[in-house]
Amino acid sequence: MSSFATHTVFNQVPPLEDYSLYDTDPALREAVRREGAQAWAGDLNAHGAWLGRAQTLAAGAEANRSPPRLVSYDRAGHRVDRIEFHPAWNLLMTGIMARGLHSRAWMQPAPGAQVARAAAYLMQGQVEAGTLCPTTMTFAAVPLLQREPAGVVDFAGQWLPALYSREFDPADAPLGAKRSALIGMGMTEKQGGSDLRAVTTRAMPLGAPGRGCAYQLVGHKWFFSVPQADAHLVLAQTDEGLCCFLVPRWIPDGPRNAVRVRRLKDKLGNCSNASSEVEFEEAWGVMVGEPGRGLSVLLEMAGTTRLDCVLGSAALLRQALAQSAHHALHRQAFGKRLVEQPLMRNVLADLALESEAAMALALRLARAVDERADAGARALVRVGTPAAKLWVCKRAVAAVAECMEVWGGNGYVEDGPMPRLYRETPVNSIWEGSGNVMALDVLRALQREPEALPALEAELARAAGQHRSYDEALGRWRALLADTEQAPFQARRIAGGLARLWQAALLIEHAPAAVSDAFVASRLQAPGGMFGEMPAGADTHAILARAWPETAAC
Ligand SMILES: Cc1cc2nc3c(=O)[nH]c(=O)nc-3n(C[C@H](O)[C@H](O)[C@H](O)COP(=O)(O)OP(=O)(O)OC[C@H]3O[C@@H](n4cnc5c(N)ncnc54)[C@H](O)[C@@H]3O)c2cc1C
C-alpha cells in the first residue's frame, strides 16, 4: 500500500511472476504423465520455473515493445538485408534452443519425446509467442531434411548438425561459420496463400534438373517470416510443376544470396518476430523432395506447424486464464474478492474448461505423432490436427478477450500483460491455413485417408455410454458427416464438432467428473454463446482449484 497526497493505493493486483508454469498446472502435469512423457517431468519443471521468473517474463514483454528493424545497407552502402533484434529476443531464443524445442524430438526420437516437447512449447508460448515462429518452422523442416539425399548440398553432414545444435547463434554468416541454424518457410505470394497452386515464383535449373540439384529462383513472397533464418523452404514453379527449394541466406562458398527483403510487415501482434516481403533476384536454391511434389513437401511441414498453432493457442489461453484467476483472487468488488462472486466463478470455471480441453487435445495429438509408426496414429494426426487448429485457435480468441475483461480496465492497458496476449491470439487461426481451409482439410482427410474415420471412431467410442449428451452429440455428428452433399457447406460444423467431441471424450476419460460433467453440459448439452453461461450445478470449486490451485482456499 502506498500513499499519495490525495489517496492511498489499494486493491491493485501484484504481478504474477516468479512462479512455476508447470507446478501450477495440475491438468498439464497429468496429461504429460498420461500421454507418455513422465520421463521429462524434471526437465519440464525446470523449464516452467525458468519461464515464470520475473526476468524471463519481462524479456517476453520487452521483445515485443522493441520490434526488429530492417537494415538494408551497411554504412559503406553494401546491401545487407539484415534484421536487428532487441537483446530480449536473443535471451528467449537462447532458452528455447537450449531446451531443444526446435529439433530435439526428431534428433533423439523416443516414446514421449513429442509430448514432452509439446508440453514445453505450450509453456514457452505463455511467455512469448514471436520466438515460437522460427522454432516451429525449424522443427517442421528437420524431418524433411533428415530424408534428403546429398546433392549439391550435404544435408546430413552440414545442415542437420547445425539444426540439432542447442546453441542460439544470431550471426548473419554462412552456415560453415555458425554454431547453429534456423529454417523458415516461403509459400504465400501476393495473389494468394491458401491456393498455393497459384504460386508464380519460377525456378530454373542451373545444370541438370532434379532433386538435390541447384536452381535459380525469380519471383517474390508476400509473407516471409524470419527473414534472418539461415535458409527457407520455398515453393516455386518448374517445368515439372510445383517444387520445394532450400534457399539459404548465404550461397555455399559464396556471397549472401539474392533474397532481397523489401520491408518488414507492420503487424497487429507477434511483434517481436520479423515477418517480411521478399523478392528473389535470381536467388540460389536446391531442390528438396521429388520434382513436382513441392506442395506435398510443404504440406507435410504444415502438418507440424499446424499442431504448433494449436499448442500456441492453448498456451495463450492458459496464460490468460492464469492471469485472470490470479487477478480475481486479489481484486475485490462489492465487498468480496472477484473469485468469490458467483457469476465470476461461472466465467472463470468456464474458461478453465476451455483451457484444459485445448491442452488435452493438443497433447493427445502430440502422442499420436510419437506413435507415427502406426497407421491409425498417423491418420489421427492427419484429420485431428486441422480440426483442432480450426477450433482451438478460434476459441482462444474469444477466451482471451474474456480473460482481458476479468481484469476490467487494467486489462486494456499496455502496462499489463493482457493486450499483448489479446493481439497475439488471432494469428494462429490465420497463418498455416486459415479456418475455412482447415475445415475443408478435415473433409479431405476423411475422404482420402481410409484409416481416419475408423481411428477417430475408436477414439470417440472410448467415452461413449457415460453421458447421454455426449452420445447424442456423437450421433448428430455422424449424421452430419453422412450428408456428403452438404458437407462442404457444413465443413466448419463437422470439423469444429469433431474437435469438441474429441475434447469431451478426453475429459470424460481422464479428467475429474467436475470437469467432464461441466464440459459436456456446457458444450454439448446446452451450449451457450459466451463464456460464463454454464448451467447450474457446475462444481466451480473443483474446476477452479484444478485450474489455479491457489483458488482452492475459496
Ligand atoms: C504474421 C504472419 C506471418 C506469416 N508468415 C508466413 C511465412 O513465413 N510464410 C508463408 O508462406 N506464409 C506466411 N504467412 C501467410 C499465411 O500463411 C497466409 O496469410 C494464410 O495462409 C492465408 O493466405 P492469404 O493471406 O493469401 O489468404 P487467402 O488465401 O486469400 O484466403 C482468404 C480467406 O479465404 C478463405 N478461403 C480460402 N479458400 C477458401 C475456400 N475454398 N472456401 C472457403 N474459404 C476459403 C481463407 O480461409 C481465408 O479466411 C503469414 C501470415 C501472417 C499473418
Which pLDDT tens digit goes with each residue over 218-260? 999 999 999 999 999 999 999 999 999 999 999 999 999 999 9
* Ligand 1: centre distance to CA 328 (Å): 37
What does DSSP say about strands 241-248 and 332-333: parallel, antiparallel, or unpaired?
unpaired
CB 507 within 8 A of CB 357: yes
User: For ligand 1, is residue 164 a contact (CB within 6 Å)?
Assistant: no
Give me the mean pLDDT over the 71-92 stretch.
97
Give me the mean pLDDT over the 361-375 stretch.
98
- Residue 295 to residue 275: CA distance in whole angstroms: 22
User: For ligand 1, is residue 272 a contact (CB within 6 Å)?
Assistant: no
Condensed to tens digits (0 to 9), the pLDDT of residues 444-469 reads: 999 999 999 999 999 999 999 999 99
Nearest Cα to 11, choosing from 1, 3, 22?
1
Nearest Cα to 225, choosing from 437, 427, 439?
427
Confidence of residue 554 (pLDDT cuts 50, 70, 90): confident
Give the least confident one: 83-87, 271-275, 414-418, 524-528: 524-528
Q: Ligand 1: which of 223, 247, 259 to mutate, most ligand atoms within 8 Å of CB?
A: 223
Of ligand 1's listed atoms, the one at least distance from the Cα of 187 is 11
Tell which phi-psi region holds residue 537, choosing left (phi > 0), alpha (psi between -120 and 50) or beta. Answer: left
* Ligand 1: centre distance to CA 431 (Å): 6
Give me the mean pLDDT over the 364-369 stretch.
98
Give me the mean pLDDT over the 315-334 stretch.
98
Of ligand 1's listed atoms, the one at least distance from the Cα of 189 is 26
CB 458 within 8 A of CB 376: yes
* Ligand 1: centre distance to CA 117 (Å): 27
* Ligand 1: centre distance to CA 217 (Å): 22
Q: What integer best gives the mean pLDDT of the chain?
A: 97
Give the rounded percent of residues in the chain with a pLDDT score beyond 90: 99
Confidence of residue 3 (pLDDT cuts 50, 70, 90): confident
Confidence of residue 270 (pLDDT cuts 50, 70, 90): very high
* Ligand 1: centre distance to CA 536 (Å): 41
- Residue 493 to residue 212: CA distance in whole angstroms: 43
| Terminal CA-CA length for the chain | 23
* CA-to-CA separations, 17 to 54, 58, 132, 425, 476, in angstroms, rounded: 5, 9, 21, 21, 45
- Residue 237 to residue 280: CA distance in whole angstroms: 13
Residue 191: partners with Cβ closer than 8 Å, 6 or more residues away? 198, 200
Say how many residues make up the chain.
Answer: 554
Condensed to tens digits (0 to 9), the pLDDT of residues 194-224 reads: 999 999 999 999 999 999 999 999 999 999 9
Atom 25 of ligand 1 has which residue's CA nearest to it? Answer: 193
Task: For residue 301, count other CB atoms closer than 10 A to its CB.
Answer: 24
* Ligand 1: centre distance to CA 257 (Å): 26
User: For ligand 1, is residue 194 a contact (CB within 6 Å)?
Assistant: yes
User: For ligand 1, is residue 185 a contact (CB within 6 Å)?
Assistant: yes
Give me the mean pLDDT over the 534-542 stretch.
97
Q: What is the DSSP secondary-structure string of 435-453?
A: HHHHHHHHHHHHHH-TTHH
Give me the mean pLDDT over the 111-124 stretch.
98
User: For ligand 1, is residue 430 a contact (CB within 6 Å)?
Assistant: yes
* Ligand 1: centre distance to CA 119 (Å): 27
* Locus of grid cell 514471436: 130
What pLDDT, on a 0 to 100 scale, did the predictor assign at position 1?
56
Strand segments, DSSP code E, in 307-436 are 332-333, 336-337
Q: What is the DSSP secondary-structure string of 455-498?
A: HHHHHHHTTTTS-HHHHHHHHHHHHHHH-TTTTTTTHHHHHHHH
